[in-house]
Chain A
Amino acid sequence: MRHGYDGVVVTTPVTVPYQRFSPHAAHWWAGAALRGLAEASGIAHTDMDGLSVASFGLAPDSGISLTQHFGMSVRHLDTVPLGGASAVVSLRRAARAVQAGDADVVACIGADTNTPDSFRQALASFSRFAQDAVYPMGAGGANASFALLTRHYMRAFGATREDFARICIAQRDNALKNPDALMKTPLTLEQYMAARPVADPVHLFDCVMPCAGAEAFLVMREETARAQGIPFARLTAAIEGHNQFPGDPVQVRGGWARDVDVLYGMAGCGPEGIDVLQTYDDYPVIVMMQFEDLGFCAKGEGPAFVRSRDLRIEGDFPHNTSGGQLSVGQAGAAGGHLGLVEALRQVTGQAGARQVAKARRAMALGFGMINYDRGLASGAVILEAA
């Protein structure tokens, strides 16, 4: 039996509004997020004694450089190079640090910039396996890797492009209520189906738009949040898993499937107890796998699930209420924080026009790091209203 996260809370959802391209460094975006945390919490950055940062764009710097860059003196320091899974992992580590008293207030930040050429550079130098055995075979990047998984999933479980469209269209509808979303117009099924192919069967609206931005939150003990007088959510459950199920010939599940029972056991609920879900949506096929792996439906039933549920904010299965990365944009490693920050907004009643009624329990998921033929990193957290 795992130890719970008793006494650990998450506060202060911060989004630095995204821009398609930015002349600023990732440090600028991370710094803006830190300022946002200080302003919203009333805790000076010099009084925060923990920093956890995730970014693809800090080189040659890492978290340690940022302490000096930002003028922070910390007891807990983490650089989490896990892309889409980084927010969950940052939170897990920070939670144990504050629970044990190793630190009192940890700032968790995901931030990246986007220059016209930075995306290609990141692709070419992503991992050794990618450099040796993926990139030279056509340089398709993540689009091609997910295209292989998507085609296989469609064949194995009968999913169609129309099924994936349901996810993308509902998220676009949600994004129209989010002023920070880069996508500002509705998406129709006709537009989705007619979009140009990128790497068959992945088409334009299955892909996220790379952009610059930052997302952040604070981790502390409940008494600290109460003393500060800021809204907080309890962390009730969290799992992470890396390179799980290596024997699956093609990835049809993420690491969540291995520890999903631990997750619900810690939270004291099942899938039906989740009021709002934030999946990691770099591609819609991965969203469908998360519906299955987290027990909202059985493996292979993702297509039927999206046909029978309404994934919009006001629907019977509120999902990616910010619009998700597919409609807000993917700001590098901040993309892994988008869902967690939105989950925090929802259960603390700070989601504004996107607020899901009676959202007491939210799940946020992370996924990422296509090293070769599959995404290696997965994570999940459950946040509960105080």
Chain B
Amino acid sequence: MRAPLVELVGVAKGFGEGEARVQALSDITLSAMPGEVVGLRGPSGSGKSTLLNLVACILEPDAGLLRLAGETVWQGRWAPGDLRALRREKIGFIFQFHNLLPFLDAIDNVALALTLNGVPLAEARRRARDLLDYLQVGKRASAMPAKLSGGEAQRVAIARALANHPRIILADEPTAALDSERAQVVMDLLRRVAREQSATVLVVTHDEKIFSRFDRLIGLRDGRIETETRPSTAEDV
């Protein structure tokens, strides 16, 4: 039996103190298997980004258990070990705003993620170019981020997130800046990566047009899981 890559049990997260306290997430239990593409939907403020950031180990849970790739990462406190190394090696993060480094051109933004993992620069650039070609932005490899269109920048950012072949890919509204055609392309790509690399993909989205592209769609409301559906039209690419 295959083990889940992402596992949350009874996770809660709040912000602030006293009167101003906001309970962003309560009692979240969910798991995602390798190869699975899971969507997170819900109204604004329902806790989607908070959930994603907990999985990315950017935020610390208040309670519960967080397990990634079979290892307990948080239970009462962080497990000993280098969180940043964990993020570097196991997690690929795609931001809502692409967050490319403005002083590096497209190819080096991708190559940087590889060199951080010890890949020599020349090799990193070669692999970065392949990835950009694969994402159909190879022609813009030497452009600075400021000169890229929203869709191009988002695809470069996706290339960066995929560069180290992470097992867990987290994306916060990756298609918000894209037209629906590009959005479909990005979703297809994430599905393909999930299948080919047995990765788990967690995507926060408002975009109803791509709901059908998920294996599973989790609906959040007021920090709780309200619905869980399996869009029947989902098909392999």
Partners in one complex: no
Interface residues of chain B, those whose CB is within 8 Å of chain A, are none
